Amino acid sequence: MKDTYTVRVLKIDLTTEDVSLDEIGTSEALKFFGGRGLASCLLFRSTTKETDPFGEENPLIFAPGVLVGTCVPTAGRATVVSKSPATGMFMKCSMGGHWGAGLRHAGYDVLIVRGKASRPTLLTVTNTGVQFRNASTYWGLDVREATSKIEADLAIPEVDIACIGPAGERLSRIAAISCSYYHVAARGGLGAVMGSKNLKAIAVHGRVPVKVADPERFWAVSEQARTSVANTGRCKFYGEYGTAGVVVGANAMEALPTQNFRAGSVPDAYGISGQCLAEQNYLVRRESCMACSIMCKRYSATRNAYPGSEAGGPEYETLAALGSGCMLMDTDAVLKANELCNILGLDSISAGSVIQWAFECAERGVLPPEIDDGVGGRVSLKWGDAHAVHTLIEMIAYRRGLGDVLAEGVRRAAQTVGGDSWKWAVEAKGLEQSGVETRMAKAYALAFATNPRGPDHLYGQPMAEFGFSPEGRALVRRLAGDEKFANPIITDHKPKLVAWHEECFAMTDSLGLCSRATLSTYAITPAMMAEMLSAALGVEMTEDGMHEIARRVINLERAFNMREGARRRDDRLPWRVMNEVLPNSKGIRAINSEEELGKMLDEYYELRGWDRETGVPKASTLRDLGLDEVVTDLGLTATDS
């Protein structure tokens, strides 16, 4: 293969302050696309079962997608991978904003950070070099304070900064990495991995151009993608109302997680909706990540309470977790909670989840109804109590009082508190479930169960099953043979749907695009992505070729968890959604049962070429994908086929 594409991997050791560069050629890089796929491969190779997520040896790998820094719509995302302190397994996060493009302009495609600095450190990565700076004056500051101060101190125009807040510094397993202020790599506690390395922030800047092999061809496919985004109804909807716009529809479908997943709707969801934010002037302005023409990002401010509170978002997930989930339906109070998570560096999904769980613990007598806030005040653990939600977020970030327990995530918190509290800890694999009601959406149920991160929406996202849009229905028709399967409560053909979406997600992340364009709206197709790669890298890529690479990435990420000892038993959903029927008015017995999930898992494993009993990829499957090295690592023999 012609070497048109060289991936520059910057390797930094914080312990020794060694800096080195690896270059990976076209054929090796394209085996995994680059971006997320390549980062996952590098993570697999540089870790073992023994790697401690908080150990010096655990690498934190940042990889902007292959097309980041170009004019393809939504090409602004960077993947971050590491072994998760929440799950002890594979974790990939993806963040928007402008940081990923900044790293590419500094001249690098992948950044691997290892080791542990002896003092709080700020890394600067520019095209003129890497510097390790003393970050003691930033340690302890929240994300907004620290980022602002670093910007001022560095005085580099257009610098972009990825930063952790107090939650990451205190190794909260639900801590996020915030980049460009409000764009977060949120899930799985990667902020704590950064904290464990004494790494407060990474600033990037540079003036290295991003080149494409065939500019004219690239321009043509960019235009095609941009036109498709502009003409897709769901994209317009997200531009108008943001992801928050989904709240009202989810509530009407009785699929809006409410009161710690005990219900699927609230009497009136308007107050926590994107429509409310826009119509009642909470929305200060719309924003976009780098190169994005969807414009779903918001910047919002409170109006009637908490004066001066402003922040990026809120997103659908934040509103579900901290709003309906906590029964906090006051718009201003939810915006304040969103701001606190943003600036203290917490994953708002997980923060909302542990707070809901604490409220339920108090209601059921496992925790006292009122607790100390750790600084001389009291907090009532009561549904919908704004003071409690805000104070608990701070207590978690600073590990004060009960916050110290909650900062460990809901699985570990339940182990500490004991009793039956694990039953209402809505998690699997150690990750708090994101805001989709899987009892009302069977493809999502399967996707959540098989997701190597845990039960969340950012690995598969099979939104086509709802039949919301003509694009989604057309996809279901193509995959399942009939549009009637675009129905969330039936299980037929769902494994096929999930597999396609997981593969599309792997391409999306690896190219650095946003799932909002490729999955939830289907405006950008795998065929378009193949054309983008072809034009950018000077290789000829087909849609089928894209799916094959994506399968390789998925198998490798699966293998990571298998190496950790995960098996079919871990592909489960939280106890609550498998044992308690979701009340609804539609006459549907909404629950995820063992039988139903088991049948879908059988079909799904068959489709993937994984062992039905164990869920481990078969040696033949791995070899067919060129993953021979993984066969050995998993201890499989030639007969395991």
Partner 1 sequence: MQSRLLTETVRCVGCRLCEMACSLKHESEFAPWLSRIKVDRTPRTCLAVPSVCRHCADAPCVAACPVDAIKQSPASDVVYIDAVECIGCQQCLDACPYHCIVFDSSRGVALKCDLCNGDPVCARVCPSGAVAFAVSEDGE
Question: What φ, ψ does residue 135 adopt, rounded to 5°?
Answer: -110, 20
| Distance in Å, CB of 287 to partner 1, minimum | 4
Two tokens at 250? 């989810």
Of 71 and 474, which has the nearer Cβ to partner 1?
71
Given candidates 312, 455, 462, 574, which one binds partner 1 under the rule CB under 8 A?
A: 312
Q: Is 168 in the site for partner 1 (CB under 8 A)?
A: no
Task: Give the whole-angstrom CA distance, residue 92 versus residue 507.
Answer: 14
524-543 burial: b if 16+ Cβ within 10 Å, else e? bbbebbbbbbbbbbbbebee
Q: Which among 51-59, 81-89, 180-188, 619-627 is the span making contact with partner 1, rule CB under 8 A? A: 180-188
Write out the binding residues for partner 1, residues 101-160 only, by CB under 8 A. Answer: 144, 147-148, 158, 160
Of 294 and 600, which has the nearer Cβ to partner 1?
294
Note whether 320 and 457 are within 8 A (CB).
Answer: no
Query: What DSSP state is assigned to residue 322?
Result: I
| Distance in Å, CB of 208 to partner 1, minimum | 8
Task: Give the whole-angstrom CA distance, residue 44 versus residue 59.
Answer: 10
* Distant-in-sequence, close-in-space partners of 62: CB < 8 Å, separation ≥ 6: 39, 78, 79, 80, 100, 103, 110, 111, 113, 162, 202
Of 107 and 374, which has the nearer Cβ to partner 1?
107
Two tokens at 617? 């990829």
| Number of neighbouring beta carbons within 10 Å of residue 217 | 16
Return the closest-CA partner of residue 26 out of 536, 371, 445, 456: 536
| Distance in Å, CB of 312 to partner 1, minimum | 6
Q: Is 293 in the site for partner 1 (CB under 8 A)?
A: yes
Task: Give the whole-angstrom CA distance, residue 74 versus residue 71.
Answer: 8
Dihedral-angle region of residue 512 (phi above 0 means left; psi in -120 to 50 means alpha; beta otherwise): left
Task: Give the whole-angstrom CA distance, residue 611 versus residue 179.
Answer: 39
Given candidates 17, 57, 310, 580, which one binds partner 1 under the rule CB under 8 A?
A: 310
| Distance in Å, CB of 293 to partner 1, minimum | 3
Q: Is 517 in the site for partner 1 (CB under 8 A)?
A: no
Two tokens at 593? 């049962």
272 burial via Cβ count (<10 Å: 0-12, 13-18, 19+): buried
| 175 SS3 class | strand
Of 98 and 453, which has the nearer Cβ to partner 1?
98
- How many residues at the interface with partner 1, by CB under 8 A? 43
* Binding flags for partner 1, 273-292, as an x/- string (CB under 8 A): -----------xxxxxxxxx
Return the closest-CA partner of residue 92 out of 431, 541, 473: 431
Write out the binding residues for partner 1, residues 201-240 only, by CB under 8 A. Answer: 207, 209-212, 215, 218-219, 226, 229-230, 239
| Distance in Å, CB of 590 to partner 1, minimum | 38
Of 100 and 403, which has the nearer Cβ to partner 1?
100
Given candidates 69, 189, 264, 462, which one binds partner 1 under the rule CB under 8 A?
A: 69
Task: Give the whole-angstrom CA distance, residue 315 versus residue 186.
Answer: 12
Of 87 and 534, which has the nearer Cβ to partner 1?
534
Note whether 111 and 331 are within 8 A (CB).
Answer: no
| Distance in Å, CB of 418 to partner 1, minimum | 43
Q: Mind spelling out the 3-state secondary structure of 453-479?
A: CCCCCCCCCCHHHHCCCHHHHHHHHHH
Q: Is 516 in the site for partner 1 (CB under 8 A)?
A: no
| Distance in Å, CB of 409 to partner 1, minimum | 29
| Distance in Å, CB of 434 to partner 1, minimum | 24
| Distance in Å, CB of 330 to partner 1, minimum | 23
Of 163 and 407, which has the nearer Cβ to partner 1?
163
| Distance in Å, CB of 247 to partner 1, minimum | 21
Of 209 and 587, which has the nearer Cβ to partner 1?
209
Of 130 and 295, which has the nearer Cβ to partner 1?
295
588 burial via Cβ count (<10 Å: 0-12, 13-18, 19+): middle
Q: Is 18 in the site for partner 1 (CB under 8 A)?
A: no
Q: Which among 71-79, 543-551, 566-574, 602-610 is the span making contact with partner 1, rule CB under 8 A? A: 71-79
- 378-380 and 370-372 strand pairing: antiparallel
| 411 SS3 class | helix
DSSP one-letter string for 414-440 = HHHH-TTGGGG--EETTEE--S--GGG
| Distance in Å, CB of 251 to partner 1, minimum | 27
Q: Is 297 in the site for partner 1 (CB under 8 A)?
A: yes
Q: Which among 26-34, 174-182, 418-426, 588-596 is the span making contact with partner 1, rule CB under 8 A? A: 174-182
Return the closest-CA partner of residue 354 out of 396, 415, 401: 396
Q: Is 70 in the site for partner 1 (CB under 8 A)?
A: yes
Residues that bind partner 1 (CB under 8 A): 69-71, 73, 76, 97-98, 144, 147-148, 158, 160, 180-182, 207, 209-212, 215, 218-219, 226, 229-230, 239, 284-295, 297, 299, 310, 312
